[in-house]
Amino acid sequence: MLKGKIIGGDFELESIPSGLSEQDVFQTYGVSGTWTTSGRAALAVILQHLINHGVDHVHLPAYLCGSILLPIKELGLTYSFYRVDHELAAHPESIEGSAVILIHYFGWLNKSTARIREEAVHGSFHLIEDTTHAFLSDWQISSAKSNLVFMTPRKFGPVPLGGWCSVDTAVGVPSQETEAMVWRSIASRLVRGLFLDKRFVSSDVDMETFYLQALRAVESFLDHHPTDIGLPQIAFDIIVGLNWDDIAKRRRANWRCLHDLLDGQVNAILKTLPEDVVPLGYVINLQGRDRLRARLASHRIFCPVHWTLPNEVDPQMFPEAALLSNTCMTIPIDQRYDTDDMVRIAEVIKSEL
Ligand SMILES: Cc1ncc(COP(=O)(O)O)c(C=O)c1O
């Protein structure tokens, strides 16, 4: 039995956004930097730059997306993890000559940022800031020119491929395989757009299988090419053709709406929305996470988990990261949804608690 429209899942396309928008696309912090195929590949550019300066070790937060380990391994760097507390604040050690990655989770500036930036300026490590979740948030990344920043816009909209980092490097033309992948990603998002359009329900199983498999193939390609740079023009055109101002406004409005509707009945890990934050999602944590997530899925509301920790992170050593991983889920509040959708999500959550 169908229970309302599907909420969550990969970003679909109804058409291909075209034409450069007038808007100031998004923050590239006043530097030209390098566009790449993914966040992983953008990190790889920074790491290669640091390897050239003698760095051989990367210090990472224990609460992270496992895909960022791929370029580190591919480039033969050693790595270690540091503690992230229950408020998502980072607690790295100051390891001489290392690169320290700082993640700004879910759109909010990491609480430890000022201290870690200060330590990086006066200490002996290189700070790399991952602004993937915060690339539409308005706060200044750093006044320090030497800052290393990377991100991908792929988590905030129907971006087929794309990543960016603040290090300039020479980029060749995209490989034929990359060109093929970008079209595969675009085609699968267009098919998902048709799948979500009620007029095409008769063939929905085939359509769903098609786009799910195609999007999986694109992710697998990125996993196997974590140092691939060279972004096809069509991907860049889509990135600059999306209306990011509107996306930012809708996400903020939906977050606020859901927060009010839930009225403290679930524990939001980030409880206030500062003026300058554009959220990735509405992140809650609870002991019965998997049960509530399954119940929401039965109502066709799909909530991702950020993140299942990679095997490399020992949960005994990092119990706070393990707890976040086991109890958090991210409720969609993105630009595809409106107040009615937030009302439906809140009603289902309240009825299933
Ligand atoms: C915070 C963060 N940084 C980086 C990445 C890697 O981005 P990509 O999938 O484009 O390689 C992810 C992936 O989910 C992420 O969540």
User: pLDDT of 155-191, one tens digit each?
Assistant: 999 999 999 999 999 888 999 999 999 999 999 999 9
- For the chain, domain boundaries: 34-165, 176-226, 244-352
Give the pLDDT score at 229. 86
Q: DSSP 3-state helix, strand, coil percentages of the chain (rounded to 5)? A: 40, 15, 45
User: Which residue's entry shows tokens 């990125």?
Assistant: 222
Q: How far apart are CA 265 and CA 254, in angstroms?
A: 17
The pair of structure tokens assigned to 97 is 């000559």
Give the pLDDT score at 1. 44
Give the pLDDT score at 20. 59
Give the pLDDT score at 206. 83
- Percent of the chain beyond pLDDT 70? 92
Give the pLDDT score at 308. 96
CA 108 to chain centre: 12
Q: How far apart are CA 131 and CA 153, in angstroms?
A: 10
Neighbours of 213 (CB within 10 A): 11
Task: Output the CA 67–ligand 1 centroid distance in Å.
Answer: 6
Residue 285 has pLDDT above 90, yes or no: yes
Task: Judge if the beta carbon of residue 37 lies within 6 A of ligand 1.
Answer: no
* pTM for the structure as a whole: 0.95
For residue 331, how many C-alpha atoms fall within 13 Å in the half-sphere facing its CB?
31
Task: Judge if the beta carbon of residue 40 lies within 6 A of ligand 1.
Answer: yes
Task: Output the CA 226–ligand 1 centroid distance in Å.
Answer: 11
Q: Are 154 and 186 in contact (CB under 8 A)?
A: no
> Once rounded to an integer, what is the mean pLDDT over residues 58-82?
97
The pair of structure tokens assigned to 155 is 């988590």
User: Which residue's entry shows tokens 């119990």?
Assistant: 319
Residue 27 has pLDDT above 60, yes or no: no
Q: Are 153 and 159 in contact (CB under 8 A)?
A: yes
**Average pLDDT score over the chain:** 91
Q: How far apart are CA 168 and CA 35, in angstroms?
A: 9
Q: Give nearest CA residue, ligand 1 atom 6.
A: 39
The reply to whether omega before 307 is within 30° of 0 (cis) is yes
**CA R_g for the chain:** 20
Task: Output the CA 151–ligand 1 centroid distance in Å.
Answer: 7
Tens digits of residue pLDDT in 183-196:
999 999 999 999 88
Task: Output the CA 163–ligand 1 centroid distance in Å.
Answer: 9
Q: Residue 110 carries which DSSP code? A: P
Please, which residues bridge with residue 130 across strands?
103, 150
Amino acid at 211: Y
Task: Output the CA 253–ligand 1 centroid distance in Å.
Answer: 24
Give the pLDDT score at 124. 84
Tens digits of residue pLDDT in 97-148:
999 999 999 999 999 999 999 899 887 899 999 999 998 998 766 555 557 9
Q: Give nearest CA residue, ligand 1 atom 12.
A: 65
Atom of ligand 1 nearest to the CA of 41: 11
Task: Judge if the beta carbon of residue 334 lies within 6 A of ligand 1.
Answer: no
Give the pLDDT score at 200. 64
In this structure, which topology does domain 34-165 adopt according to CATH? Aspartate Aminotransferase; domain 2 (3.40.640)
Give the pLDDT score at 144. 52
Tens digits of residue pLDDT in 289-343:
999 999 999 999 999 999 999 999 999 999 999 999 999 999 999 999 999 999 9
Q: Give nearest CA residue, ligand 1 atom 13.
A: 65
Please, which residues bridge with residue 34 across strands?
165
Domain at 244-352, CATH homologous superfamily: Aspartate Aminotransferase, domain 1 (3.90.1150.10)
Task: Judge if the beta carbon of residue 152 lies within 6 A of ligand 1.
Answer: yes
Q: What is the DSSP string of 164-181?
A: EESS-----PPPHHHHHH
Task: Output the CA 38–ligand 1 centroid distance in Å.
Answer: 8
